[in-house]
Chains A and B, each alone.
Chain A
Amino acid sequence: MDSNLIEMRHMVKVYPPSVLALDDVSVEFRRGEIHSIVGENGAGKSTLMKVLYGLTHANSGEIWFKGKPVSFREPGEAIRAGIGMVHQEIVLIPEYTVWENIVLGVEPVNWLGKLDRRRARELVRQKIDEFQFNLDPDARVEEISVAARQKVEILTLLYRNVEVLILDEPTAVLTPQEIPQLFAELTRLRDGGHTILFISHRLEEVLELSDRITVMRKGKKVDTVDAASTNRQELARMMVGREVIFTTRRKPQTPGDPVLQVEHLTLREDHGRVRLDNLNFEVREGEIVGVAGVEGNGQFELVNTLMGIQRPTSGRILVRGRDITHCDILERRRMISFVPQDRGKMGASLTASVWENAIMTHHRLNPNLSGWRGILLNTRYAQQFTRQLIDAFSVVVSSPRATFRTLSGGNQQKVIVGRELMLQSDFVLLDQPTRGLDVGSMEYIHDQILRIRAEGRAVLMISADLEEIFLLSDRILVLYRGQLVGDLPVEQTTPQEVGALMLGGHRTSP
């Protein structure tokens, strides 16, 4: 068994109070392989890696590394032993240069104990050349792309001589054009003797990249298979436990009158930076318009100005012909359903009960929720209303009085989506409606979005997931540095074209 570099045996991990994240998982990783771990959200793949890396601790089980039992109390020990992890969120100091970030914590010093800048920079330069990473060591991190920052993270670990690299969904933040380059680099690292553990739920890329694949479902290991001897359908079935349909269920439909009209919308910040640059578009009845773009290119500001959190510098927003540019939020909520991207920050109060979350906004608009003279809240009707929502949107919950936090992510999102769709507004704004959801919940939310399209409502959906955008949208808008660089009917474009627009604002690949 000496080909196994790492063995994890009978790992059990329970997150308090009783979330069984790892249920007796045993898995082996061989030296010099790219081993992917796939599974839905909550399947336990990240937990398994965090346990290995010392970020969290298992309740029981053994980890063997290079033939010896190990147990890392904290990530520093894992890195010293030769295991490093790149997280989903990139943690670098934006104001520092690439080489400064890489040497931070293990700086080469001269005989006075001072940082030897020249040698540090030279060491980083050597590493960049050794691994052919195409990075400028003197660039400041805030000025380089997300893909380049990811490389800096990987190089930070390689600089510390790790043999095993764990990558947690590294492609989630990349555009389609950037992914092949990452894969080429990972393959090169593997050929140089590194072992790569790759967490993902995107089956296409897993099949393309990996030597072996471990599938997890609900905290259990389903199987470990050779990538060469499996396919997407089989992996999906193992992951979800049933057949999954990948193709769109969107039926052709002619859109009606415009519902949302955005005219010359511009948002300039106080210090002159332009966040939204003269946006013009409309969303019509029975139409889903997807907004694609790398995060931070104006999506956040677009949502904020539509919802009235930020005032645009100039331009107009009209819903059903009515200018709402200067309306307060409640006035907008009479016409707009809004599913925000962050459940805990904008979409709900985690510490409140399910019913208190379910009646938000309705409590102002639905007369049945009002008691005496509109002063009292009709709490009995609130319970009844919440039960209706729970039934209509298949929410799994013990009672409307349960604390919202105790619901799973998928069920939380169903409550939020249900609440917003039950407002019956003509215009629906969805900001990352399925972020962080498992496949089952995602399919369910997608069905609901298609249902309201069939009802003739207008939908504007912002998503970082191009697959989702292509699955649902009739038209795709592309945002790049606050500008609308594309307004494309979905039949006449490809993910490659949209990806190129997202990256550079023009259609040819860079």
Chain B
Amino acid sequence: MKQKVLNALIGILVALLLGAVLLVLQGYNPLETYQALFQFSLFGYYPFATTLRNAVPLVLPGLSAAIAFASGVVNLGQPGQLVMGALFATVGGLYLDLPPALMIPVLALLAMLGGMIWAGIAALLRRFFDMSEFIVTLMLNMIADYFTAWAITEPFKDPSAFSPMTPQIAASGWLPKWGEFNSMILFMFAAVLVSWFVFSRWKAGYEWRITGQNALFARLGGCDINRNFVSVMLMTGALAGLAGGLVVMGSTHRFIRGLGANYAWDGVMIAIVANNGILATFLYGLFFSAIQTGALGMELITSVPNEISQVLQAVLVLVIVASREYLNTLVEQLSARRRAREART
């Protein structure tokens, strides 16, 4: 644990240093830039609330990817599951009008259902036709993309709008805000807790973990790995779908073109950086959100373009993933050398 935190901190520090070198080469002042970056993302009431809100569509697909990968399930369908979740929540919000206490949970459940159905298709294709979920989930992303595009230009189009989008959902389905804090972050905290609890305290979570590490061992131990595969697919689909639903309910209030943005892929990237750890995915999700959020503010007061945030993210991913293995090997080699010196004397 201590080692992991240390690795992460070293990785972040090295990445920031490399980023600073790039900034200097471009003729910018790295200290000012970083100061602005974090000032507009972490320090202060409004920046911090924004960072938390922006973290929601990163952390949920991140959890989805982390649980799937750690269980040996290659679900790369988070983008498709996210937009399907968003579409389900939107359609629910267009046709239902219940009191908010009922409406919000119903729409959230619909969003999860949308993600589950989309992931479930891949799970069934694997179960019955032995098609690799790797390729199927990727292909389903395309289908989801065009399907939702059609849905908002044809059946659910807002006739008064000039570009493809749905009308606004019923206001009872809007997520409430407390000052700058959007209640969508409560769903994120709940999702982190539930994911952690299922993954480390449920018997099913135990079987998923072991299957991800050594499927043959789990199978010989009596785990039903086919059923577990389907459960993991459905749960991770639900997490990605919920992310889409929350974006609609908490921020856009309708399905607009490009709603999914790059959230899901960023989430997958965060899961990889976090080595598929649940809490680590949450923390890295917040960190990446801080960089993305801060970059917008940074652009306002410095002349550094906000694309630098993407450069920083890329450097972070490379450095952290590379250093994870390298630092472990380095520590081991150093202790081996020390041991050898002891043996010689």
Q: Chain A: residues with CB nearer than 8 A to chain B?
A: 10, 12-18, 20, 23-24, 59-60, 307, 309, 328-330, 333, 338, 340, 344-352, 356, 359-361, 363-365, 370-371, 374-377, 379
Q: Which residues on B sit within 8 Å (CB–CB) of A18?
A: 335-336, 339
Contact A333 B201, beta carbon cutoff 8 Å: no
Is B329 in the interface zone, CB < 8 Å from A? yes
CA distance A351 to B212 in the complex (A): 10
B326 at the interface (CB under 8 A from A): no
Q: Which residue of B lies closest to A17 (CB)?
A: B332
> How far, in whole Å, are A108 and B174 apart by their CA atoms in the complex?
80
18 residue pairs A–B, Cβ–Cβ below 8 Å: A14-B336, A16-B333, A17-B331, A17-B336, A20-B340, A23-B343, A59-B337, A345-B214, A346-B217, A349-B210, A349-B218, A352-B214, A356-B209, A359-B206, A360-B217, A360-B218, A376-B203, A377-B203
Instruction: Give the residues in chain B near A377, CB-CB below 8 Å.
Output: 201-203, 205-206
Asked whether, in the complex, the Cβ of A12 is within 8 Å of the Cβ of B221, the reply is: no
Identify the closest chain B residue to A343 (Cβ): B217
Q: Using CB atoms, name the residue of chain A closest to B337.
A: A59
8 extra interface residue pairs, beta carbon distance < 8 Å, beyond A15-B336, A17-B332, A360-B222? A329-B219, A330-B224, A346-B217, A349-B213, A350-B213, A351-B214, A370-B203, A377-B201
Given the complex, which residues of A lie within 8 Å of B331, measured CB to CB?
A: 17
Enumerate chain B residues within 8 angstroms of A351, measured Cβ to Cβ: 213-214
Taking CB as reference atom, which chain B residue is nearest A374? B203
Q: Is B220 an interface residue (CB 8 A)?
A: yes
Could you tell me the distance in whole angstroms from the C-beta of B9 to the nearest C-beta in chain A?
21
Chain A CB within 8 A of B204 CB? yes
Name, among B204, B220, B221, B224, the residue most crowded by chain A CB atoms within 10 Å (CB to CB): B221
- Are A60 and B344 in contact (CB-based, < 8 A)? yes
B216, CB-defined interface residue at 8 Å: yes
CB distance from B326 to the nearest CB of A (A): 13
Question: Are B340 and A16 touching (Cβ within 8 A)?
Answer: no
Check A379–B201 contact: CB distance below 8 A: yes
Q: Are B220 and A376 in contact (CB under 8 A)?
A: no
With both beta carbons as reference points, the residue of chain A lying nearest to B219 in the complex is identified as A329
Nearest to A59 among chain B residues (CB) is: B340
Write out the residue numbers on chain B whose beta carbons fall within 8 Å of the beta carbon of A346: 216-217, 220
Chain A to chain B: the 8 pairs with minimum beta-carbon distance, closest first: A59-B340, A16-B332, A330-B222, A360-B221, A17-B332, A16-B336, A349-B214, A14-B336
Name A22's closest neighbour in chain B (CB-CB). Answer: B343
CA distance A356 to B339 in the complex (A): 31
A375 and B204 contact, CB distance less than 8 A: yes
**From B203, B205, B207, B221, contact of A333 by CB (8 A):** B221
Chain B CB within 10 A, most for which of A24, A328, A329, A345: A329
Contacting residue for B340 out of A60, A338, A365, CB 8 A: A60
Contact residues of B with A, CB < 8 Å? 201-207, 209-210, 213-214, 216-224, 329, 331-333, 335-337, 339-340, 343-344
Residues of A within 8 A of B218 (CB): 349, 360
Q: Are B214 and A348 in contact (CB under 8 A)?
A: yes
Q: Which residues of B contact A344 (CB under 8 A)?
A: 214
CB distance from B312 to the nearest CB of A (A): 31
Q: From B338, which residue of chain A is reached at the shortest CB distance?
A: A18
Q: Is the CB of A12 within 8 A of B343?
A: yes
Q: Report chain A residues within 8 Å CB of B335.
A: 16-18
Task: Tell me the bound Cα distance from A346 to B331 in angstroms.
Answer: 30
Question: Is the Cβ of A360 less than 8 Å from the Cβ of B210?
Answer: yes
* Residue with the highest number of chain B CB atoms closer than 10 Å, among A10, A24, A60, A349: A349
Cβ contacts under 8 Å, A348 to chain B: 214, 217
A16 to B201, CA, bound (A): 33
Given A12-B343, A60-B340, the answer on whether A338 and B220 have CB atoms closer than 8 Å is: yes
Closest to B224 in A: A330
Cα–Cα, bound, A20→B209 (Å): 32
Q: Would B332 and A356 count as touching, CB distance under 8 A?
A: no
Which residues of B lie under 8 Å from residue A60 when comparing CB positions? 340, 344
Task: Name the prevailing secondary structure of the A interface residues.
Answer: mixed
**In whole angstroms, how far apart are the Cα atoms of A23 and B340 in the complex?**
8
CA distance A263 to B268 in the complex (A): 52
Other-chain contact of B206, A12, A338, A356 (Cβ < 8 Å): A356
Is A363 in contact with B336, judged by CB distance below 8 angstroms?
A: no
Q: Tell me, rounded to whole Å, the shortest Cβ–Cβ distance linking B226 to chain A.
A: 10
In Å, the complex CA distance between A64 and B207 comes to: 54
Most buried by B among A338, A344, A359, A376: A376
Contact (A59, B203) CB under 8 Å given A10-B344, A23-B343: no
A75 to chain B, nearest CB (A): 22
Asked if A20 and B204 make an inter-chain contact with CB atoms under 8 angstroms apart, the answer reads no
Known: A377-B201, A379-B201. A329 touches B222 (CB 8 A): yes
Across the interface, A14 reaches (CB within 8 A) one of B210, B217, B224, B339, namely: B339
Query: Across the two chains, which residue of chain B brings its CB closest to A329?
Result: B222
CA gap between A422 and B266 in the complex, in Å? 46
In the complex, A361→B331 CA distance in Å? 36
Q: Which residue of B lies closest to A365 (CB)?
A: B222
Whether the pair B217, A347 counts as a contact (CB closer than 8 A) is: yes
Contact between A20 and B221, CB atoms less than 8 A apart: no
Known: A59-B336, A330-B224, A333-B221. A20 touches B343 (CB 8 A): yes
Contact B220 A12 (CB under 8 A): no
Among B201, B210, B219, B333, the residue within 8 A (CB) of A352 is B210
Q: Are A24 and B339 in contact (CB under 8 A)?
A: no
What CA separation (Å) do A18 and B339 show in the bound complex?
Answer: 6
Chain A residue nearest to B331 (CB atoms) is: A17
Point out the residue from B201, B207, B340 that lies within 8 Å of A12, measured CB to CB: B340
Q: Whole-angstrom distance between the alpha carbons of A12 and B340 in the complex?
A: 6
Q: Bound state CA distance, A20 and B342, in angstroms?
A: 10
Q: Across the two chains, which residue of chain A brings its CB closest to B203?
A: A377
Query: Which residues of A lie under 8 Å from residue B207 when comparing CB positions?
Result: 363
What residues of chain B lie closer than 8 Å to A20, measured between beta carbons? 339-340, 343
A415 to B216 Cα, complex, angstroms: 18
Chain B residues, Cβ within 8 Å of A356: 206, 209-210
Q: How far is the CB of A198 from chain B (nearest CB, A)?
A: 26
Choice from B206, B219, B333, B337 contacting A363 with Cβ under 8 Å: B206
Q: What is the CA–CA distance of A111 and B221 in the complex, to the nearest angstrom? A: 61
Q: How far is the CB of B234 from chain A (nearest CB, A)?
A: 16
Cα–Cα distance between A328 and B224 once the two chains are bound (Å): 9
Bound-state Cα–Cα, A71 to B197, Å: 55
Q: What residue of chain A has the Cβ atom nearest to residue B333's Cβ?
A: A16
Question: What separation, in Å, do the CA atoms of A329 and B219 have in the docked complex?
Answer: 7
Closest B residue by C-beta to A10? B344
A14–B219 Cα distance when bound, in Å, is: 36
B202, B223, B329, B343: which contacts A375 (Cβ < 8 A)? B202
* Residue of A309, A346, A360 with highest tally of chain B CB at under 10 A: A360
Chain B residues with Cβ under 8 A from A333's Cβ? 221-222
**Chain B residues within 8 Å of A379, by CB:** 201
**How far in angstroms is the closest Cβ of chain B from A59?**
4
- A348 to B215: give the CA distance in the assembly, Å: 10
Cβ–Cβ contact A309 & B206, under 8 A: no
A-chain residues with CB within 8 Å of residue B213 when the two chains form the complex:
349-352
Docked Cα-Cα span, A364 to B202, in Å, equals 12
- Which of B209, B220, B222, B344 is A309 in contact with, Cβ under 8 Å? B220
Find out whether the CB atom of B217 lies under 8 angstroms from the CB atom of A345: yes
